[in-house]
Structure 1
Amino acid sequence: MFDQLPPPQDVPVPAWDLTVGLINATVQIDQPNDDGTRRVGTGFLIDAPLPDGQPRTVLVTAAHVLEGMPKPDARVGWRVQMPEGRWRFAPEPVRIRSEEGQPVWTRHPDRDIAVMEVSAPPAFARAAIPLDWLADREAFGRWQVGPGDEMLTLGYPHGYSANTAGFAILKTGRIASWPLTPIEAFPTFLLDFAVFPGNSGGPVFWVPSARRTSATAKPDHPYIAGILAQEMRVRGESTGIGFVIHAAYIREAMALLDAAQPASTWADIRSSSAPP
């Protein structure tokens, strides 16, 4: 069930199956507060091998999700499929701060994105999204993405899941802004859907089932278009619009994770983070 790999080019895979693969790679992140409530966010897993080829699973979320969790450990909501077919929600603690209180994640210097290596259960390591599914800087132009195009997103609004097994809630929305590129000028885009606390950090993605009206070029696999950062609020009221950070900035955060170098090398990392 968790073995979701990119399909061979000549073998069609149902769009719902690709969506299930992304659902399997999405997890709840939470930390209890002292008043009995809890802070909740969404994260998703990327299969990002180390530069030497060793396997590695990376958790991606919005930086403010982890920054708002002051305790050393957060919980990641793993799920276990039982022999009879049922599912069990099995959250486990993951260290997010050192003993000195310093974050152990890597934050993008300009964008609300955090990445960190995690020791995921084997089923989740297999379910992690291939790194190539992160859209690059030219993806929107190459695939003629435009306003009104439909995207999907996963998250845990107000800490709620789709069921007791802890699967994320799937929602749809349409791109609500223009222009979308170049991303240096427009690092975020708007998505028309209701955003709630707990959705932050969720993937915004496209699968072949998403309706398109104008594009002639289409990718041959799902792609992560971006990461949900926050909702748009005006005078304290929600507008039903979400801010999405382009996925190319997730790639840059991954490059920083690999480099583990000071900010003075950021220009070099940025110039080398795009795929060939």
Structure 2
Amino acid sequence: MAILRAWFAGRHGIVPARMLFVPAFFFVVVADARPARGQSADLDTQLMLATVKVADPEATGTGFLLSRPSPRDAKVAQFLLVTAEHTLARTKGEEVTLFFHRRKADGTYEKAPAKVRVRQEGKVLWKKHPDLDVGVLPVVPPADAAPPAVPVDLLASDADLEKYEIHPGDPVRCVGFPHPNQFEPSEAGFGIVRAGCIAGFPLLPTRSTRTFLVDLNTFEGDSGAPVYLVDLQRPLQARPELARVRLILGLMVGQHFLDEEFKAIYQTSKFRHRMGFGIAVHATAIREAVEMLDAKP
């Protein structure tokens, strides 16, 4: 990881947020797009349920699950776990542990850890976006885990960004696991929500801009966290109306630092300052990586 950070810092002045590799997986479950009984339909809660900690002996990080109809059977739901590809690449073994969530009879939640295979005889099972830090991989969650209900259709397209006039300053949120080996915000294994705003410009076209800045602190362990926007009364300039907007804008892959060095007669030291800007890959890249799963070899 130190080598990766040094490479990023040298070339781009950025360092990827250290994360447990989290492959995107498909869970094959007979289900529809509605939330399970007793679960909230709001996107904040659904992404809280859909975001999981991924762990192996080498690292720990964040991934989140999306659902879509199975390409083989439209009546069967497939769940895709999406993450920053560098979190997957850091793992060494053939399995990682995903920490799902189980709802108990008394209404509380508990962790539901499950082993997920990410390699088969040394061959990686996830799909990597050819140019960007996005990885997806099929998996099956525990049968008694709380099933997420976040459809792939919520991934923002360029047309969505134009239609809903997404712009710098728009408030956004993310769910992640900062420093997961030192900080556990919930005994039930849930991540934490942080809020900020879109900090950079331009956003479009996403094939050219590739990433966007978010004005919020991100930390080691956050790579793969979903970045999303919810605005149920959004005024549109192009049309005199209010729009209900629920979009996943991208996933967190890194953060910006400012490095300072000082030299004394017998000592040289470096200070690293967080600039408070997260780096997110656009949701269009997530969709492209998902489509690679369906491509014929």
- TM-score (normalised: structure 2): 0.76
| Displacement of 1:111 | 0.7
Tell me the residue number matched to 1:250. Answer: 286
How far is 1:219 from its partner?
A: 5.2
Q: Whose Rg is larger? A: 2
Equivalent residue for 2:161?
A: 140
1:220 aligns with 244
CA contact (8 A) 2:61 2:223 kept: yes
Worse-matched range after superposition: 118-127 or 232-241: 118-127
Instruction: Tell me the CA shift for residue 136 of structure 1.
Output: 1.2
Who is 2:142 aligned against?
A: 121
Post-superposition shift, 1:203? 0.4
Task: Tell me, in whole angstroms, the C-alpha distance in 2 between the residues paired with 1:18 and 1:104.
Answer: 29
Amino acid at match of 1:40: T
Q: State the match for 1:191 in structure 2.
A: 214
Secondary structure of the residue aligned to 1:193 is coil
Q: Report the AA paired with residue 98 of structure 1.
A: Q
Rounded to whole Å, the distance in 1 between the matches of 2:47 and 2:238 is 23
Whether the 8 Å contact between 2:229 and 2:249 is mirrored in structure 1 is yes
Counterpart code for 2:119: R
Aligned to 1:162: 185
| Amino acid in structure 1 at the alignment position of 2:249 | A
Q: Structure 2 vs 1, CA of residues 132 and 168 (structure 1 numbering), >3 Å: closer, same or farther?
A: same
What's the C-alpha RMSD, in Å, of the aligned pairs? 2.5
Q: Does 1:69 align with 2:91?
A: yes
Give the direction of change, closer, same or farther, for the CA distance of 1:107–1:147 in structure 2 (3 Å limit): same
Q: Which amino acid aligns with 2:132?
A: R
Whether the 8 Å CA contact 1:4–1:127 is kept in 2: the answer is no
Contact 2:164 2:236 in 1 (8 A): no
* 2:70 paired with 1:50: yes
Measured after TM superposition, the shift of residue 56 of structure 1 is 1.4
**Residue 6 of structure 1: how far off its partner (Å):** 6.0
Change (3 A) 1:55 1:181: same
Change (3 A) 1:237 1:219: same
Instruction: From the two aligned structures, give the one with the greater strand fraction.
Output: 2
Structure 2 Cα separation of the partners of residues 56 and 148 of structure 1: 34
* Aligned with residue 202 of structure 2, among 172, 179, 185: 179
What's the counterpart of residue 271 of structure 1? none
Q: Which moved more, 1:105-114 or 1:225-234?
A: 225-234
1:80 equivalent in alignment to 2:102: yes
Residue identity over aligned pairs, in percent, reads 35
User: How is 1:258-273 mapped onto 2 (pairs within 5 angstroms)?
Assistant: 258-261=294-297
The question of whether the paired residues in 2 share the 8 Å contact of 1:145 and 1:215 is answered with no
**Counterparts of 1:91 and 1:6 in 2: how far apart (Å)?**
24
User: What secondary structure sits across from 2:228 in the alignment?
Assistant: strand
CA distance in 2, matches of 1:5, 1:177: 33
TM-score (norm 1): 0.81
- Once the 2 structures are TM-superposed, how far is the Cα of residue 88 of structure 1 from its aligned partner? 1.5
**Matched position secondary structure for 1:110:** coil
Q: Partner of 2:54 in structure 1?
A: 29
Q: Secondary structure at the match of 2:218?
A: coil
In terms of mean alpha carbon deviation, does 123-132 or 146-155 score higher?
A: 123-132
Q: CA deviation at 1:97?
A: 1.2
- The Cα shift of 1:124 comes to 5.1
Task: Judge conservation of contact 2:67–2:80 (CA < 8 Å) in 1.
Answer: yes
Task: Measure the CA separation in 2 of the matches of 1:161 and 1:210.
Answer: 34
SS class of match (1:185)? helix
| 2:226 matches 1:203 | yes
Offset of residue 137 of structure 1: 2.3
